[in-house]
Each structure stands twice: as structure tokens, then as C-alpha cells.
Amino acid sequence: MLSETALKNMGIRGLCDDSRKASPGDLFFALPGAQAEEFARIALSKGAVAVVGETEAPQDLASKWIRVSSVKEERASTAKTFFKDPFSKLSAHAVTGTNGKTTSAFLMDAMLSGEGRKTALLGTICKRIGDRVVASNLTTPGILELYAFAAEAVNAGCSDLVMEVSSHSLHQGRIQGIHYQSALFSNLTEDHLDYHKTMENYFQAKKLLFTHYLSEDGVAVINIDDAYGMRLFDEVDVAQKVSVSRLGNAKAVIVPQSVQSGEDGMILQVPAISEKPFQTGLVGEFNADNVLLVMSWAKSIGISENSIRQALNTVKVPGRFEMTFNDGSRRVFVDYAHTPDALERVLRVARTLCRGKLSVVFGCGGDRDRNKRHIMGEIAERDADFVWVTSDNPRTEKPEDIIAEIIGGMHSDHFKVIVSREEAIRAACKAMQAGDVLIVAGKGHENYQIIGKTKQHFDDHEIILREMC
């Protein structure tokens, strides 16, 4: 393990694990792989001072090569030393699950802020410290970026960090060595099987948050309405476990007495938290799950009822069931549903708000789980009156091939394929009549579209407003 003094003596000014980002003064971590040495040489040519690798040092690099048994472990312990152990100075709170992480993280952050605590928030939409916000590239960044962010949060005077933890990050060790004060589990449904291959592997990745990264004296808050949540609850061994069930499972400690959901939000009676009802502008059954999970967490870590109420009343999550257009009769929502379960649940809520025809525009991301495509096609066709099948972020796949897989799950004729997302949204808007609801799903807050390897500006909201106003 490299000590602070060793790093200082070597003249290390930064840590890096990607040769494309190497800078003078860096210590480069050459993760095992066929190209490790090649990347190390590139980093050195850009001014990196030394390399940490798992293989024997190439002869000409012997003086600059530090051989370790695990580069990932060394990277985690060096990050802790270099960034002055920021996680020991913060209360870190993590949320995982297939759907609902961003929404829950926004709520958690708002509740902590309501307590007058300065917070940092990190997830799919953004990285935020106090009022300073930058857009995110990944839901959970690489470990070096994560440590740098936590150090910045400490320097800015933050007491708490709320973050989304993805299954990829758990599997790849992006949070190695970090201990959380609390961890929340929302649900586990089909996604990312391109990466994890089986639901069991996907579950085991999520479980790591609770078995490896949650402090022994931490609290686990788990939605046991979800079958994997129930299993997790039984398998996890920590000081405090809180089980939550909107559906009234008798095993749960937090169960609402009633949830009344309407067009403008919902009212929840949760006697285990307060005698007085809670109100929020968040809409729909799936958001009731998120709200209950986060309220239960807040109660378990001692957040005041007042801050819970205030956060529920004010929180807004960009691109999550966001009403982009409403003329009192036709309504268009932008939503981030990009999994079968999310699409099903969003359409179910939309149906309750719809007095005319319910339509949906959606596609599926390229270079990602292919198996979910036909399932989403089947759900969209079953639960909406009309489906506009289009492109999401095709990435390096042919959009037509992705669409063919989606419509492989569809059997009626109440859908239309329009490959261009802009054209599809415009056509769907044009077709709207009084009382209709349109859901534009899959891209939510994203203000870009990735075609090939190019990211270009694209915003569902802008297109809807241009067409409808």
C-alpha cells in the first residue's frame, strides 16, 4: 500500500486509470488486460510519473513500475490516501435498484438539505455540491472520479453525500473501500442482462452494496414488495434493517394505511412515521414506492418530520413523469422509462390520468440489453392505445435493427415505426386530440442523442413544445 509520504516522495500530483486522460505528475493504474502495458506507455509519454501494474515490469520501464497483486485494490487504497480519506468525514448514503434510484436520491438530498445540512448529490442526472452542478456521464463514476468528488465535497463543507450506486459500479469495484451509513434498495427487474447475463448475477451485484459496502452499524432500507427485495432482506446481516411495503406485507415495519394518488400528486397516511398525512407533487404508484422508501430511510436516520414534509412538497426530478405540455385537455409527459417494468408502471399511471387515447413514443438504447426490447414492445402495445416506435440512443447499432427487435414483441397494427425520434415525436403530437395523453419515454433529462459514437444535441421537451405551442 502506498503511503502519503511515498506518494509525496515520488512527486505524484494526480491519480489516473485511463491513458486518454493522463496528465504530467500522475500515478497511472494499469488495470489488467491485453492492452495494460500499451496504455501505461501512453500515460508515461504524457508525463505520468509511475505505473502500478499486476504483471512483471517490462525491462525498459523497471524503474517506473510498481508491481502489486491487485491493481484494483491498490487503486482503492491509494485513492483513499491521496484524497485524504474523504468518506471518513462524510455521511454517505447509497441507493440501488433497477428503477427509482435518481428519484429517491433527489428526495434524500432534499430531506437532508431541509435539516440545514450541506449535501453533495451524485447520480445519473448530475454531480452537485451545494449549488454547483455539472452533468454526469455515468450513474456511478469511476472510483478516482468518485474520490475526487467526495474530497471536493468535504472541502466545500458538506456533511452528507447521497449517491446512486449502479450494478455495473458494484461489479467493477467503482466503490471499493467505501463504507455507507445507509443503503436503500428499490427493486430488481429486467435490465442490463447484456452485462450480467442472468438475473441472479444482477442480484448478486446489487447485494454487494449491503454485504460489502454498508457499515456494520449502518441501516439497510429495503422495499420488500419486490421479490428480490424480500430475498435481500432475509440474506442481509446488518445492525438495522427496515422493511417497507406499499402493498401491506405483514412482514414490513413501514406500511402505509392509505395512498391516494391523483393528477397533481398524492396523499399518504403512514402511521409508523406520523399521525398526520403526507403530501407530495410526485405522481403515481411507482413514485409512492419511492416516497415510502425514502420516508422510511429518513425516519430511521432521524430526519425531522418537517424536513420530510418540505422535501415531499418541493422536490422535482427532471425528466421523470414530467408534464411538458398541458392545455387543459391534451397532456404530454417526458419520462425516463427505459426498462420493461418502468414502461409498464408509467403507462399504468398515465392510463388513470387519460380521458381520451393514451399513446407512447419510445425506442431502446443500442449496445445495451437486447432482451428487454421485445418485452417493452409487448408492454407498450398492451398498455397504450397507440405506439410510435422510434430510436432512443442507437449508439453503434443500426436503428432499424433495434426497432425490428422491439416490434418482434408486437402483434397488432396499432403501432407505427418512424425511425427519426424527432419525426416520431412530432407525428405523435400532431395526432393528439382532446383528452389524450402522450408519454415520450426513454430519454427523460437527456439533452443529447448518441448516434454511432457521436453525441448530438437532442431534447424531447424542445420538440414537444415546438410542435404543441
Which H or E run contains 154?
helix 143-155
Distances in Å between the Cα of 130 and the Cα atoms of 109, 121, 147 are: 10, 9, 17
Using CB under 6 A as the binding rule, whether residue 101 contacts ligand ATP is answered as yes
Cα separation, 408 vs 415, in Å, equals 12
Question: Residue 443 binds which entry of ligand ATP, ligand UAG, ligand API, none, with Cβ cut-offs from 5 to 8 Å by kind?
Answer: ligand API
139 is in an annotated binding site: yes
Distances in Å between the Cα of 115 and the Cα atoms of 10, 110, 268 are: 43, 9, 22
Identify which of residues 182 and 339 has a Cβ nearer to ligand UAG in the complex: 339
Q: How far is the CB of 138 from ligand UAG (least distance, A)?
A: 3
Identify which of residues 13 and 370 has a Cβ nearer to ligand ATP in the complex: 370
Three cell numbers, residue 313: 412538497
CA neighbours within 13 Å on the CB side: how many for 416?
13
Task: Count CB-CB contacts under 10 A for residue 130.
Answer: 14
Site for ligand API in 358-417 (CB under 6 A): 365, 368, 392-393
Q: How far is the CB of 439 from ligand ATP (least distance, A)?
A: 9
Identify which of residues 53 and 100 has a Cβ nearer to ligand API in the complex: 100
Using CB under 6 A as the binding rule, whether residue 442 contacts ligand API is answered as yes
Choose the binding region for ligand UAG from 16-24, 49-57, 426-434, 435-443 (rule: CB under 6 A).
16-24
344 with 383: CB under 8 angstroms? yes
Out of 174, 206, 443, 461, the residue judged to bind ligand API by CB under 6 A? 443
Out of 41, 196, 309, 345, the residue judged to bind ligand ATP by CB under 6 A? 345
Choose the binding region for ligand ATP from 44-52, 330-338, 360-368, 380-388 (rule: CB under 6 A).
330-338
* Nearest CA among 309, 324, 451, 333 for reference residue 394: 451
The backbone region for 456, taken as left when phi is positive above 0, alpha when psi lies in -120 to 50, beta otherwise, is beta
Identify which of residues 377 and 442 has a Cβ nearer to Mg ion in the complex: 442
Strands 278-280 and 322-326: unpaired
At 3 the three-state DSSP class reads coil
Choose the binding region for ligand UAG from 31-39, 222-230, 233-241, 408-416 (rule: CB under 6 A).
31-39
Contacts of 167 (CB under 8 A, 6+ apart): 96, 192, 195, 196, 202, 205, 206
Out of 115, 164, 381, 460, the residue judged to bind ligand ATP by CB under 6 A? 164
* Nearest CA among 453, 458, 456 for reference residue 367: 453
x-or-dash string of contact with ligand API, 100-129, rule CB under 6 A: ------------------------x-----
Choose the binding region for ligand UAG from 107-115, 166-174, 273-281, 434-442 (rule: CB under 6 A).
166-174
Cα separation, 429 vs 359, in Å, equals 10
Using CB under 6 A as the binding rule, whether residue 17 contacts ligand UAG is answered as yes
- The dihedral sign for the CA sequence 438, 444, 445, 448: negative
Out of 10, 14, 18, 404, the residue judged to bind ligand UAG by CB under 6 A? 18
- Please report, as ranges, the residues that interact with ligand ATP according to CB under 6 A: 97, 99-103, 124, 139, 164, 186-187, 286, 289-290, 320-321, 335-337, 341-342, 345-346, 444
- Please report, as ranges, the residues that interact with ligand API according to CB under 6 A: 124, 139, 338, 365, 368, 392-393, 442-443, 446
Q: Which residues are documented as binding site for meso-2,6-diaminopimelate?
A: 368, 392-395, 442, 446
